[in-house]
Structure 1
């Protein structure tokens, strides 16, 4: 689990294709000597497992499924990525709960300077937009952000100078793709409501079947 508060930017040191998966090696800007094999880490919003730590870099294996559902398959040697180590129970939850399970890919449609901030408009499909609400939380390439506006096929966010300097987001151009993880709460609420509705429907159907049986058996 993560907070969406990016710890730093890493550089892709090496990429190796191995059968149906890819091995990434990343050199971060900060000291990661406390990272160990088996630790979870968020890379551009994707939760991965560290397989090796050596010489100031760490490596991870990315499955074919993850490559098909995220932007990691587009990475090239020398590219910059956001990274965040997994949340510890003693840490503050400064952003919002981010699992690192990317829901889909968005595309930057607009990038506009607004005095000291930048406005980004990101296009998404209807499946994603149903979970995006104005003033709600969203993770874009692993960055916890607030939705300023949203429509059926896009949402808008503002990037403050600090976020712009500490992440890769302002290096993106119009047309670039980003990983999107919507707020966990909305998905759970939808699942709960859907399950409750299904249970009530089943109970109603069962009750009707029982009444029909009584009428047929006893002529009521």
Structure 2
């Protein structure tokens, strides 16, 4: 599990493209401090498994499914990435519950005169995004300031702008989005309950 509190701004140092998969080498002195083979590290909000650690760099494999669904398909050498290790059981919980499972990609639009940052998101994610609710953008835990059918805004403090990739994002850049997993569970439970009631009510009807 992750919380969306970015530990450091890392850098992609190598990309090996194998067609359906890719191998990334990432520099991150903080997250490699105690990292080992098999550990989970979120890279721009994507939970990836450490293959090897070499000094202050670690290597991860990115499968086809992840390349298809996230911005990592277009990552390049020299690109900054947000890094967070999986939360320890006794760690401080500072953001919100995150799995590192990206739900879709959005697009950075602009920052307005009120210092709100605007992002477009896929319509199918709209039902999970609510004003004052939580969302992860490139692995950063944020609070939704406002939302319309296909656009949301967040207020980014100077620290977030300086210590994460969000301060370097340009209009048109693709970002990874993870909605609040609690909203998805509530939706499923509600749908299952509604389906069950429909079956029960249908079974109790009599013809005529």
Superposition TM-score, scaled by structure 2 size: 0.95
What residue number does 1:74 align with? Answer: 74
Separation in 1, partners of 2:31, 2:100: 22
Separation in 2, partners of 1:75, 1:175: 15
- Is 1:158 aligned with 2:155? yes
- Is 1:49 aligned with 2:49? yes
Aligned-residue offset at 1:205: 2.2
What residue number does 2:2 align with? Answer: 2
Which of 176, 181, 198 pairs up with 1:201? 198
What residue number does 1:139 align with? Answer: 136
- Is 1:122 aligned with 2:113? no
What residue number does 1:218 align with? Answer: none
Which structure has the bigger radius of gyration?
Answer: 1
Separation in 2, partners of 1:127, 1:31: 34
What residue number does 1:58 align with? Answer: 58
3-state SS in 1 of match to 2:136: strand
Separation in 2, partners of 1:193, 1:159: 33
Aligned-residue offset at 1:194: 0.3
Separation in 1, partners of 2:113, 2:44: 23
Aligned-residue offset at 1:148: 0.5
Q: CA RMSD in A?
A: 1.5
Instruction: Please say which of residues 75-84 and 119-128 is displaced more in the overlay.
Output: 119-128
Runs of 4+ in structure 1 deviating by more than 4 angstroms, as ranges, are none
5+ long unaligned stretches in structure 1: 216-220
Cα deviation code 1:36-76 (max 9, x no counterpart): 10001100000110011112200000001100100001100
What residue number does 1:101 align with? Answer: 101
Aligned-residue offset at 1:17: 1.3
**How many residues are paired up?**
208
Separation in 1, partners of 2:113, 2:162: 15
What residue number does 2:145 align with? Answer: 148
Aligned-residue offset at 1:19: 4.2
Aligned-residue offset at 1:30: 2.4
What residue number does 1:169 align with? Answer: 166
Separation in 2, partners of 1:164, 1:136: 20
Q: Aligned pair in 2 of structure 1 residues 74, 113: CA closer, same or farther (>3 Å)?
A: farther
